[in-house]
Structure 1
Amino acid sequence: MPLATDSLSVPNLFQSEHGFWIFLSCLPKFGARRQQAILEQLPDFRQLLTHNAATLKALGLAAETIAALEAWRRQDNAHPVVANADGIYRNCLRTGTAILTIADADYPEPLRHIHDGPLVLYVRGDRSLLGRDQIGIVGSRNATRAGLEHARSFAAALGQKGLLVTSGLALGVDGAAHAGALDAGFPTVAVIGNGVDKPYPYRHRTLSERIAGEGVIVSEYPPGTSAKAGHFPRRNRIISGLSRGILVVEAGLKSGSLITARLALEQGREVFAIPGSVHNPLARGCHHLIRQGAKLVETVDDICEELGGW
């Protein structure tokens, strides 16, 4: 049941461990490279709050970042970055959205080992599933009937092998993979490029509810965030980061699925591809991946064999 948002019932942002990490995720000019540079100099991000402005500048932080950190120290809710973090925190409590930070023991271990893992994840559903072994299934939004059937059947077969299917809840292959796992009685993970309280695409609103009830929906974007084109490439690194490997079902040569496959390789994950007819333009991306060294897959056993020593 969503929590009330009056001042008496909402825990103070500044006393909440989750509140601090939400604030960090809102800091301007504090992306993955800057975070990594800081951790090479400090053992813990909390130490940023113990240094004065001159030291923070010497650490390489921008003036906007330093100003926000000083506002947090003053507990200045009027500062826009602090106010934004406070709004996100309260909205999570209001909507019943779980907050999972990189400091939490159940933060997905594979995401800790990619260079740009999110500081905060927003979760709807069974968060414990994020600790399970996962296989990402991705492919075209305009998949053929055969491609959709492949996605459904491979998702069901992977579930039977004890592997959780992860995808992006998009139309086409993603939706078929989620539905295939659920229909076979297995949970599934949906990584989305918008707030977990805003179903997208709208056509998948029923599927989204099923996943929230029987699996888990996760996003690095806070509740209330609308879907934007720029969110989806970033979402893909989480799909691959959570997964032991990525299976590309159907993809054109310019498909976003090839971005996910490239990210998977950069993260040290396996890449699998289902071949198709030379007359099918949506097979060309898969054939390209196979020529580049992806494992050609005909059955789920081909995947399990490759992952045997992971």
Structure 2
Amino acid sequence: MSDLKYWVALDAIGGLGRVRFGLIETFFPSMEDAWRADRSELRAAGLDEWTCRRIAERRQRVDPDSLMAVVEEHGIHVYTWRDPGYPGPLAEIEDRPPVLFVKGQLTDSDRWSIAVVGTRRATPYGRQVAEQMSTGLSRNGITIVSGLARGIDAIAHRAALQCGGRTVAVLACGLDMMYPPEHLRLAQAITEQGALVSEYPPGTEPRGEYFPRRNRILSGLSLGVLVVEGDVKSGALITARQALEQNREVFSVPGSIYSDASRGTNSLIKDSAAKLVLSVDDILEELNLTMAAHQLEMKELLPSDASESALLEHLSLEPRHIDEVRRSAGLEISEVSSTLAMLELKGLVRQVGTMNYVRTH
């Protein structure tokens, strides 16, 4: 998109939102035209006087080229709500962000996502449940979405990473920053097995009012929201309410009636705002997500890299000794051994006799 930098620049002005961006997009031939428009033209687009004044004043402090240079420097991808790469589930919500910043990669498989949220002051029980649920969902091909906050969020992200699953973190600041700062290494790991996502352009520092708004993206990216622990005023319950407004399923883990950390989750269940969850299967069955696990299983039956594919070409339904395979493939014995072990785990080869291997199909 040739005027992408003007989408980003207008977004950096702040306060425009879905409705005002819609008016701008409808009236002006391009975002560059909107960026260069005077106040009378902005008023003609249907924008109120406050917005016209805000754009006219703030664009004096925003340089589209410099802003895009920062985006590129930090390896950030930009998607507008008109781009094919914009997440489908998020596009369905009413208050979708016009511009989305992504570091890492969003994939088609992320349409199977569950947001796992909860208190920053997790109890041992909450930590155990968050890890168990996130691990189980990940092993069933579900992407774990959370907010990279301390407590339940970080536990959910780490559990997904540790079992080789995908995870997406939604931030309440620009992707050139990190909050909380101690999660920098975790964020870097997430970009390798998922993505960091924000509606805020680079240079945006975290502010208190950004976190509740961030939560609508958490639920918007997901098929459902799992609340592990949270008091009645917890941000996790804000996410749950937004999920309900977005017609997403809400799940809640019951906890002790004596624990403040479970007052919110128990209340959701009591008020029939959330479905009680005792296991991962409860979520999979409710959302009919067993197909995600099946498709993941089928995907894992395929060789995942060039070494595995190359080695399979030197195997057949007739047994071949590992030394013969090594000579035929022209590889080091260490690489052949490790690759055969991985293929055996995937069920693509089988060892028959001493160091002899056959393809299974």
TM-score (norm 2): 0.72
Contact 1:149 1:176 in 2 (8 A): no
What's 1:257 paired with?
236
Deviations 1:227-286 (A, max 9, x none): 221211111010000000000000001101110000000011000000011111111100
Which of 96, 100, 105 is 1:121 aligned to? 100
Matching of residue 236 in structure 1 with residue 215 in structure 2: yes
Which of 103, 111, 126 is 2:90 aligned to? 111
Q: CA–CA distance in 2 between the matches of 1:26 and 1:202?
A: 23
Change (3 A) 1:306 1:92: same
Change (3 A) 1:47 1:280: closer
- Amino acid in structure 2 at the alignment position of 1:256: G
CA RMSD of aligned residues (A): 2.9
Deviation at 1:139, TM superposition (A): 0.2
Deviation at 1:67, TM superposition (A): 6.8
Q: CA–CA distance in 1 between the matches of 2:10 and 2:203?
A: 19
- Structure of higher RCO (CA pairs closer than 8 Å, 6+ residues apart): 1
Q: CA–CA distance in 1 between the matches of 2:31 and 2:158?
A: 45
Moved more, 209-218 or 220-229: 220-229
Q: CA–CA distance in 1 between the matches of 2:14 and 2:182?
A: 34
What's 1:22 paired with?
8
What's 2:285 paired with?
305
Moved more, 20-29 or 170-179: 20-29
Change (3 A) 1:108 1:101: same
Larger Rg: 2
> Which consecutive residues of structure 1, in runs of 5 or more, have no partner in the other structure?
1-14, 72-77
> Which consecutive residues of structure 2, in runs of 5 or more, have no partner in the other structure?
292-361
SS in 1 for 2:114: strand
What's 1:46 paired with?
30
Deviations 1:272-301 (A, max 9, x none): 000011111111100111122210000011
Matching of residue 57 in structure 1 with residue 43 in structure 2: yes
Q: CA–CA distance in 1 between the matches of 2:29 and 2:51?
A: 13
Q: What is the number of equivalent residue pairs in this alignment?
A: 287
Contact 1:27 1:65 in 2 (8 A): no
SS in 1 for 2:107: helix
Moved more, 202-211 or 16-25: 16-25
Matching of residue 97 in structure 1 with residue 76 in structure 2: yes
Which of 131, 151, 158 is 1:152 aligned to? 131
Contact 1:246 1:272 in 2 (8 A): yes
Deviation at 1:105, TM superposition (A): 0.5
What's 1:4 paired with?
none
- Amino acid in structure 1 at the alignment position of 2:280: V
**% identity of equivalent residues:** 41
What's 1:166 paired with?
145
TM-score (norm 1): 0.83
Moved more, 228-237 or 20-29: 20-29
Deviations 1:76-135 (A, max 9, x none): xx9426x34443222102222211221210100111111111111111112326843110
